Amino acid sequence: MDTGFRQTVMRLLRENMPAHKRNYALAVVAMVLIAASTSALALLTREIVNDVFVAQNKAAIGGVVGAVIGLSIIRGFATYGQTVLMTKIRAAIVASLQERQFAAYLAQSASVFSGASPAQFMAKINLSAASASTVLMTVTTNLVRDGLTLAGLIAVMVSQDPIMSVFALVIAPLVMGGLSRIMKRIKQLAAAQRDLEANVISSATEGLQGIRVVKSFLLESEVMRRVGKAIRAREARINKLARTEAISSPLMETLGGILIAAFIVYAAWQSLTLGKSPGEFVAFITAFLLAYEPAKRLARMNLQVQKAIVPVQQMYEVLDTMEPEAALAGTAELQVPEGAIRFENVSFTYPGQSAVLTDVSFDIAPGERVALVGRSGAGKTTIVNLLLHMMQDYAGTISIDGTDIHTVTLDSLRRSTAFVAQHTFLFSGTVRENIRFGRPDATDAEVEAAAKAANAHDFIERLPGGYDAEVGDSGDLLSGGQRQRISIARALIKDAPILLMDEATSALDGESETAVMGALDSLMENRTTVVVAHRLSTIEKADKIIVLDAGRIVATGTHAELSERSPLYASLFLGLAEAETGAEPAADTKTAPEA
C-alpha cells in the first residue's frame, strides 16, 4: 500500500467519519455482536456432535437448540442494525461529497466550463462521491466486522486444534502475495474508467439535447455510432477489470480446497490413531468454513479499495487545486453612484486559443447606451463577460466609476449589474420564481410590474396557473419569445445601475420587440447600458456604437457617423437590413417546445 493511497484513505476517514461517530459507534456494537454470535455458533457445533450425536445425551438437545436459535436471532438483528446504520452513513457521505464538489465547481470562474460538457462534470462528481463512499464503507465495515469475525473464528480454531490452525495460517501469506500483483493491475485499469463513464453520459446527453437537429439532419446513425463507441469502450474496460478481479476467486477456492482436504486427512488420522472425538474436528472445520467468507472479503478489500481510490484521488486533486473565483477578486465594496465604465488596454485570451481581445480601450458615460457590433467571434460577448468578471485573467484595466473591478468583491460587482444572456436560461420552477431570482425579496406586485414592463404579463396570465405555471426544464414549456421576456423581467426587477444585454431581443417577434424596447427605454434612463446587438432597432437607438473586428476596436460613433466612414459597419448594417427584411417573426405562443 503506497503512501498516497494511505493518505487518501486517512483523509477520507478524517474528513467524513467524525460527523457520524454516534451511528458508527452503534454499528460497531452490532458488528461485535455479529462476530461474537458467529464464533459462538462455530464453537457450539462441538457440543452438538459430542453431546447429542456421540454421547446421545437427550437432556442436552433443548439447551443446544435454544442456544442455536438465540445466537441466530442475535446475529440476524445485529446484521439488520449494522446494515441500516452503515447505509445511512453511506448515503449522507455521498450527499455531502456531491454537494462539496458541486459547490467547488460553482465557485469557479466561468472560463473553467468553456468547452466542457455539463454531463461530464456531473458524471465525475457522482462517480467520485460513490467511489469515496465505497472506500469508506469497505474500510470501516469490512475491516471491522470481518476482522472481528475472523479473529473470533481463528480463536475457535486454535482452541480446537492448534496444529491445524498454524497450517491454515501459513497459507495466508501465499494468498496475499498473489493478490498483491492483481492489485497493481486493477489500479492501472481503474485509472481511466472514470473518464470512460463520463464519455458515455456526455455522448448520450449531447444526442438527446440536440434531438431536433439530429432528426432534421438524419443524424441518428452518427449519434448512435458515437454513443455506441463510448459504450463499447466502457464495456471493454469493465470486462477487462472484471477478469482481473475474478482471478482472486480461483486462487482462494483452490487453496481453500487443498486446506480442507489436508484437514480431513489429519482429522481422520487423529480420530483413528489417537481416538480424538469428532466434535473438535467438526467445530474446527465449521469455524474454518465460516472464516472463509470474511477472509475472502478481507483479501479482496484491498482490491476493491484500489479500484475505487483512483476517482477519489482525482476528486481531491480538483478540490485542492481549484481556487474559488472570489479568492481572486478584491475585498472592497463597489459603489456605483453614476455608472461610468472604462476599458484601458484590455486584452484577453482563452486558454489554448488566439487572442480574443487585443488592447481594447473605450469609455462609456453614465446613462449612455452603447451597442457592441461586429462579426461572430469579434469579442463582443467577451467584453460583457469581463464586465461581469466571469474571467479574471485579463490584461489591462476595467473600471466602474473610477474603481478597478479587480479590487472589489464579486458580490458587490454583480449586484450592480443586471444581465440578459444571448441564450435564455430559465430554471425549472414557476414563472414567478424565475422572475424573482432577479431579486429574491421582491413582492408579488413587483414581480408583476417587472413582467408588465417586459411585455410578459399578458401571456403569463394566459398560461395555466398564470404566474404559478411551471416553465419546465430550462423553460422548454415556453416559446423562445416567452422565455426571453421572462429573462428580461428578471433583469428589470433587479433594478441595477448597469444593464448588460447579449442580443437580448433576438428571440422576440417584431411586435413584442417594439413593446419590450419601449419598456427598456424608460428603464435605461440614467442607467448605463451595454448591448451586444445584431438587430437594427437596437443599434439605431444606441448613443454610441463600438465596432469590433478580430478582437480590436476598428470604429466608434453613432449610427449616422459610422454609416458614412466605416466600411465594415456599413457592410454589417446592410447585411442586417437584408436579413431582417426577409425574416419571418417567431411565433409567440406555444403548446410544444419550439423548433
Same-domain pairing of 98 and 149: yes
- Ranked by mean pLDDT, the top range of 193-197, 222-226, 250-254 is 222-226
Based on the domain organization, do 421 and 483 belong to the same domain?
Answer: yes
Segment 52-68 shows an average pLDDT of: 85
Summarize the confidence of residues 62-78 as an average pLDDT: 93
pLDDT tens for each residue of 410-452: 889 999 998 888 778 888 899 999 999 999 999 999 999 999 8
In a domain, 84, yes or no: yes
Q: Is the pTM of this model over 0.75?
A: no
Instruction: Identify the burial level of 376 via C-beta atoms within 10 angstroms of its C-beta, where 0-12 means exposed, 13-18 middle and 19 or more buried.
Output: exposed
387 and 300 inside one domain: no
Residue 214 domain flag: no
Whether the per-residue pLDDT at 587 is higher than 50: the answer is: no
Please tell me the distance from the alpha carbon of residue 5 to that of residue 13, in angstroms, as a whole number: 13
In a domain, 134, yes or no: yes
Give me the pLDDT at residue 474, please: 81
Mean pLDDT value across the chain: 82
For the chain, helix (H) and strand (E) counts, in that order, are 22, 10
What pLDDT sits at residue 586?
Answer: 41
Task: Judge whether residue 506 has pLDDT over 60.
Answer: no
Residue in this structure with the C-alpha cell 432577479, named with its chain if needed: 438
If one compares 263 and 420, the residue with the highest pLDDT of the two is: 420
Three-class SS of residue 256?
helix
Which tens digit of pLDDT belongs to each residue from 320-343? 887 777 766 788 999 999 999 999
Q: What is the mean pLDDT of residues 376-394?
A: 88
* Pair (163, 71) in one structural domain: yes
Question: Per mean pLDDT, which of 71-75, 138-142, 163-167 is the most reliable?
Answer: 71-75
Classify residue 44: in a domain, yes or no. Answer: yes
| 300 pLDDT higher than 70 | yes
Residues 390 and 419 in one domain: yes
Question: Are 276 and 415 within one domain?
Answer: no
What's 359's domain CATH number?
Answer: 3.40.50.300
Residue with the larger pLDDT of the pair 510 and 451: 451
Q: What is the pLDDT of residues 188-202, one digit of tens each?
A: 556 556 667 777 777
Structurally, how many domains does the chain consist of? 2
- Mean pLDDT is highest, among 232-241, 293-302, 306-315, 506-515, for 306-315
Within a domain: 300? yes
Domain span at residue 436 reads: 341-574
Within-domain flag for 222: no
Predicted local distance difference test score (pLDDT) of residue 513: 63
Least confident interval from 213-217, 347-351, 443-447:
213-217
Which DSSP string corresponds to 30-56?
Answer: HHHHHHHHHHHHHHHHHHIIIIIIIS-
In a domain, 198, yes or no: no
Domain co-membership, 397 together with 316: no
- pLDDT over 80 (residue 393): yes
Res. 14: pLDDT tops 90 = yes
Residue 20 to residues 92, 231, 289, 527, 563, Cα–Cα distance (Å): 9, 37, 34, 53, 70
E strand residue ranges, 327-451: 341-349, 355-364, 369-374, 395-400, 403-404, 417-420
Alpha-carbon separation of residue 114 from 26, 234, 532 (angstroms) = 47, 25, 20
Edge-to-edge strands of the sheet including 552-557? Answer: 417-420, 498-502, 528-532, 369-374, 544-549, 552-557
Residue 386 pLDDT > 70: yes
- Three-class SS of residue 499? strand
User: What does the pLDDT read at residue 185?
Assistant: 59
Higher pLDDT: 252 or 188? It is: 252
Does 548 lie in the same domain as 435?
yes
* Listed range (322-336, 373-387, 472-486, 574-588) with the worst mean pLDDT: 574-588
What are the b/e assignments for 407-442, b being 16+ CB within 10 Å?
Answer: ebbbebbbbbbbbbbeebebeeebbbbbbbebbeeb
Task: Give the Cα-Cα-Cα angle 438, 439, 444 (nearest 5 degrees).
Answer: 105
> 34, 75 in Cβ contact below 8 A?
yes
Residues 302 and 435 in one domain: no
| pLDDT value at residue 588 | 44
pLDDT of 442: 93
Regarding whether 525 and 487 lie in a shared domain, the answer is yes
Q: At residue 90, does pLDDT exceed 90?
A: yes
- Report d(CA 375, CA 362) in Å as an integer: 19
Please report, for the domain that includes residue 55, its CATH number. 1.20.1560.10
Mean pLDDT on 96-122: 80
The reply to whether 189 falls in a domain is no
Q: What is the pLDDT of residue 184?
A: 59
Write the pLDDT tens digit of every residue in 482-497.
Answer: 888 898 899 889 889 9
Q: Which residue has the higher pLDDT, 154 or 201?
A: 154
In this predicted structure, what is the pLDDT of residue 585?
40
Dihedral (CA of 386, 391, 394, 400) sign: positive
Q: How far apart are CA 102 and CA 209, in angstroms?
A: 22
284 shares a domain with 347 = no
Q: Residue 90: in which H helix or E strand, if any? A: helix 59-106
Task: Please check the confidence at residue 534 and state whether its pLDDT lies above 80.
Answer: no
State whether the Cα torsion 77-79-83-85 is positive or negative: positive
Q: Is the pLDDT of residue 557 over 50?
A: yes
- Least Cα distance to 541 among 516, 565, 564 occurs for 516
Q: Specify whether 350 is located in the same domain as 307.
A: no
